[in-house]
Amino acid sequence: MAAYTPIEETAGQDRGPWVIGVAVGAICFTAVAVALRCWSRTLVKAGFWWDDWTILISLPFTWALIGLELGWVSAGLGRHIWAPNVQPQLGLIILFASEVVYDTSITIIRMSVLLFYHRIFGKDNRFRIALWITMAILVAWYIAITALAVFQCSPVQKQFDYTIPGHCLSFYGTFIGVTAPNFFIDVVLLLLPVPMLWNLKIKKTKKFALTANFLLGYCVIVVTILRLKAILSVPSDGIDDVPWNSTTPSIMFMLEPAVATVSICLPAISALVTRG
């Protein structure tokens, strides 16, 4: 019996089911979390506010991102590039679209977080100014990051076909340039309400409980760190086998807005549980 070559031995490997499992879970959890949040908000006299509407607006983008990743599974995500029926060019087109949809989804979700802070602490003038500055930074980040996603290669079509003459920005350099401000914004959103919480005239035990509740309400920063680790773990020649090496980063990619959606719904859900 002839020995299999390394390529033949690995051609049958498939991580696609992992992606599908995470995607289905993300859709279910986000749907339930937003539904419970909406239910909770209908039970209070104030009703819906802008933070509630923005999280609803973000949900189709989050699901669209998950749908794109599922489409990439059909095109070969989770399999080696030399496996049968893998479509590398279609995969790169889906990756390109995913970047733009991700940018839109996570920006709207972050805007919902800031509007939530505004609803709770907006009467404080200094805090309100800090919120507007953070919103301006967030919008500037969105414009810059979307432009970078679209124009990282010249011509743009080279993103989908590496055989086209032209040049692209360094993969790792681009990612670090994107992740650094991304991480900074997450840290700001995480810590922004803490001074306001600690200025409340309540017992320290309640302050700790409230602070923990708010911090838990934006625990997506953990996923951001895991996505950074996943990208940096891709070997330098990983570009030669994008469908296989992109599996874990892609899972983290779609988990980030999904976890953000669920986590920022937790305060409303906890209020529902307390009320019930």
CATH number at residue 20: 1.20.1070
pLDDT band at 82 (very low <50, low <70, confident <90, very high): confident
Q: Which residue has the higher pLDDT, 95 or 239?
A: 95
- Distances from the Cα of 130 to the Cα of 176, 196, 212, angstroms: 26, 12, 21
- Distances from the Cα of 223 to the Cα of 218, 250, 263, angstroms: 11, 12, 12
Residue 181 sits at φ, ψ, to 5 deg, of -65, -30
Instruction: Give a yes or no: residue 117 inside a domain.
Output: yes
- Distances from the Cα of 274 to the Cα of 80, 207, 239, 267, 271, angstroms: 49, 17, 50, 10, 5
Instruction: Give a yes or no: residue 1 inside a domain.
Output: no
- The DSSP bridge partners found for residue 154 are 167
Instruction: Give a yes or no: residue 4 inside a domain.
Output: no
Closest residue by Cα to residue 61 from 7, 18, 108 = 108
Closest residue by Cα to residue 106 from 209, 224, 212, 8 = 224
For residues 253 and 72, is the Cβ–Cβ distance under 8 A?
A: no
- Among the residue ranges 1-15, 22-36, 182-196, 261-275, the one predicted with the least confidence is 1-15
Burial 2-23 (b: 16+ CB within 10 A, else e): eeeeeeeeebeebbbebbeebb
Does this model's pTM top 0.85? My answer is yes
What average pLDDT does this structure show over 199-214?
Answer: 71
- Torsion over CA: 146, 229, 157, 66 (sign): negative
- Top mean-pLDDT range of 88-97, 101-110, 142-151, 223-232: 101-110
Residue-number span of the structural domain to which 45 is assigned = 16-269
Count the alpha carbons within 13 Å of 36 in the hemisphere toward its beta carbon.
Answer: 21
- Distances from the Cα of 157 to the Cα of 73, 91, 162, 268, angstroms: 22, 13, 9, 44
What average pLDDT does this structure show over 90-104?
Answer: 92
For residue 197, what pLDDT is reported? 79
pLDDT band at 11 (very low <50, low <70, confident <90, very high): low
Instruction: Give a yes or no: residue 10 inside a domain.
Output: no
What average pLDDT does this structure show over 181-189?
Answer: 85
- Top mean-pLDDT range of 63-72, 74-83, 116-125, 151-160: 63-72
Instruction: Give a yes or no: residue 234 inside a domain.
Output: yes
- The DSSP bridge partners found for residue 92 are none
Mean pLDDT of the chain: 85
What average pLDDT does this structure show over 138-164?
Answer: 89
Tell me how many domains the chain contains. 1
Instruction: Give a yes or no: residue 7 inside a domain.
Output: no
Instruction: Give a yes or no: residue 8 inside a domain.
Output: no
For residue 216, what pLDDT is reported? 67
Instruction: Give a yes or no: residue 242 inside a domain.
Output: yes
Q: Which residue has the higher pLDDT, 71 or 235?
A: 71
For residue 120, what pLDDT is reported? 86
